[in-house]
Amino acid sequence: MVDRPSRAISGDQCLCRACGQYFNSTYAFDKHRVGPCRQLSEPASEARRCRTEDEMRAAGMALSAKGLWISAPMPKEGSSGSVAAEQA
């Protein structure tokens, strides 16, 4: 079998092959990856890596109801635009 994601992704959504997290957009995915892009002349230890879930939350990212990481929490639809802080 080929290595397929366990869920369907569509449009601009991304699956991080390194850590298995799903992202709602390439922008969110990029925000999840930190560190410099490694040049061939640099040691692999300096390569880019994934933020942990705690680091993503600290960076303002959030996990959507669909299980996709988003770059920033979005206001709930129909809530007149106010961002409700609903932490579980």
Site residues (CB under 5 A) for Zn ion, limited to 42-61: 50
Closest CA to 71 of 62, 79, 58: 62
Stretch in the footprint of Zn ion (CB under 5 A) among 13-21, 34-42, 60-68, 80-88: 13-21
Query: For Zn ion, which is the closer residue by CB, 53 or 73?
Result: 53
CA atoms within 13 A on the CB side of 16: 25
Question: Two tokens at 38?
Answer: 């490694």
> Which of residues 5, 7, 19, 30 is near Zn ion by CB under 5 A?
19
Nearer of residues 59 and 83 to Zn ion, judged by Cβ: 59
Question: Distance (Å, rounded) from C-alpha 11 to C-alpha 29?
Answer: 13
49 vs 73, which CB is nearer to Zn ion? Answer: 49
Q: Kindly state the DSSP code that residue 75 receives in the 8-state scheme.
A: P
Query: Where along the sequence are the contacts to Zn ion (CB under 5 A)?
Result: 16, 18-19, 50
